[in-house]
Structures are given as C-alpha cells and as structure tokens.
Amino acid sequence: MSLHAAYAGQLDARLMTRRAPHSPLRATGWLDGWRLTFGGEHMGWEGALATIVEDPGSQVFVALYDVAPLDEDSLDRWQGVGLGVYRRTRMRVHTLEGDEPAWTYVLNAYEGGLPSARYLGEIADAAESAGAPHDYVMELRKRPC
C-alpha cells in the first residue's frame, strides 16, 4: 500500500470508493507550504483544473488514502497521467499522528484561469464531507469562478 494525498474532488470518500474501491481512507491532514490553485484552462472541459503549487505560509487540506496496487492505475487514468494532464509527485503530509510520506497529482500546466462554478462547488462539497475546517470550505466557496 502507498499513501495518496487527495486535495480536490477526491476528498470525497464516496467518489474515491468508485475510483479506487480497494483503497480505504486512512486520515486527513495538511500539505504545509502548498496552495490550492487552478490552471490548464485549455485542458479542461469546464475551465481551469485544480492543482497545487508551492507557497510558503499556505496549507492545503488533504485526505490520505491507503492505495492498493490494483487501484493505482485506475487513479492515474482518472487523472489523465497517461495523457500528460497530471503527474505524480511525492511530499510530506502533516497529520495528527505526525508527518507521513505520500504522493499526489500536480497539473502539467501553468497556474491561471478560472474553474467553473460547478467544479469549484464540487471541490468545496468534497472538502466539507472530508471534515475540512469551516473557514477552509468557506474560502473555497468564495473563490472566483
């Protein structure tokens, strides 16, 4: 098993159950020194896509999933890894139990562009369902789209 740090729609455990049925939610935590943003507007169907960028002093709320080997390919397909949309990267996630090494997806495009209202709402709903703090969820809901 390897740990996957999900930060956008995959925060929703129900969605992850469909995409990676053998990979249970382990915990939630924070990516310290990273910021949630959007980019690759030309790559998405409804505007810019979620990604993270390094930003000292910022944090991104994540859900950690124990990803079974047979679910890794499925997640890569959903994220468009083979098409060059996203790539995997390794990082440390701060949890209540301490720091955990994990991998996540980063967009292969420059930051910029706006997400659709539907997509942004989906991300905010997923963060809320995963137990993100109220102020984090409200910040997502107030973002321009």
Determine the average pLDDT of the residues in 17-34: 96
Chain-centroid distance of CA 34 in Å reads 12
- The mean per-residue pLDDT over the stretch 45-57 comes to 93
Instruction: Enter the pTM of the model.
Output: 0.94
Report residue 66 as tokens: 């124990």
Q: pLDDT tens for residues 68-92? A: 999 999 999 999 999 999 999 999 9
Q: How far is Cα 18 from Cα 20, in angstroms, rounded to an integer?
A: 6
**Is 58 in contact with 35 (CB distance < 8 Å)?**
yes
- The mean pLDDT value for 33-42 works out to 93
Strand-pairing partners, residue 29, are 62
The three-state secondary structure class of 90 is strand
Domain ranges (residues) in the chain: 2-135
Distance CA 112, CA 81 (A): 20
Instruction: Please enumerate in sequence order all residues whose Cβ is within 8 A of that of 14, keeping only pairs 6 or more positions apart, or say none.
Output: 129
Flag whether pLDDT at 1 surpasses 80.
no
Contact 49, 40 (CB under 8 A): yes
Q: What is the CATH number of domain 2-135?
A: 3.10.490.10
In order, the DSSP letters of 7-43 are -SGGG-HHHHHHH-TT--EEEEEEEEEEEEEEE-GGG
CA dihedral 32, 35, 36, 38 (to 10 degrees): -150
